Amino acid sequence: MSTSHSGIPRALTIAGSDSGGGAGIQADIKTFSAFGVYGMSAITSVTAQNTVRVAGTHDLPPAFVAEQIDMVAQDMGVDAAKTGMLSNAAIVEAVAASIVRNRIENVVVDPVMIAKSGAALLHASARDALRTLLLPLALIVTPNVPEAEVLTGLRIATFDDMRRAAASVHAFGPRYVLMKGGHLDAEDACDVLFDGETSVVFRAPRIDTPNTHGTGCTYSAAITACLAQGLDAPAAVRRAKEYLTEAIRRALPLGHGHGPLNHLWSNASLRREGR
């Protein structure tokens, strides 16, 4: 649903809260701000986590998640939206219904399943709901290798495997599949954007750093911001990957585990040389 507004692009993130600030809602809002997009949020779950581990999670009631979406969509309008951690089937169902009810287009689905620390962020019982209810509503779905393996049942070890997995995920109904290859053992970080007929490959140099917490959230948020600004899917992915690569290069060495990216690297006060 769209309403009259002052001209600033509006993006909504529907995801979990990360108390460490590197992923989830916090990463998404920082990323939206970096792109000059007005960010709004619907929180699905509250987590207690840092760069080392997820100590606990507390899911919000599905009806309240939906109410958050309804409130911002029906008043402020949404040019693009993304989903992140949805945790359980009831939340997936509530989110999908709200997207339909509010006629939200330009939906990016990041099928968050496992935290960087290894903690499960999507119950196994919710996977079918994700496949059948949410993926058909997506303009772009952005699985990494482990997530695509869960969604498709395929083993992904090569670039050709990535292409096959992208086609398999596309069969669930999204318009585009961005198959991310960061988990593969390759010199470059290569992603494949597949629209059902053709594919576009996006390459970036692999950066040797332990500080990669929130890369998936940040990537999908950057794509969402670009879609809110009016870019088409391939252009949005290209610009988002450029932004993500620099955010990793200038990542912040905070904590004792996987540190966060530097979402605001373009801000002069936060610029850091890559480590």
The residues annotated as belonging to the active site are 180, 212, 214-217
Torsion of CA 56, 60, 61, 66, to 10 degrees: -150
Cα 18 to Cα 57: distance, rounded to the nearest angstrom: 10
How far is the CA of 246 from the CAs of 76, 212, 239, 274, in angstroms?
Answer: 31, 12, 11, 9
Token duo for residue 144 = 């990494």
Is 100 exposed, middle or buried, given 0-12, 13-18 or 19+ CB atoms closer than 10 A?
Answer: exposed
Q: Which residue has the tokens 């911002």?
A: 72
Please, which residues have CB within 8 angstroms of residue 92's CB and are 6 or more apart in sequence? Answer: 86, 126, 129, 130, 133, 134
Closest to 213 in 3D by CA, of 52, 8, 25, 13: 52
Could you give the 3-state DSSP secondary structure of residue 102?
coil
Please, which residues have CB within 8 angstroms of residue 91's CB and are 6 or more apart in sequence? Answer: 44, 45, 59, 60, 62, 65, 126
The amino acid that residue 211 corresponds to is N
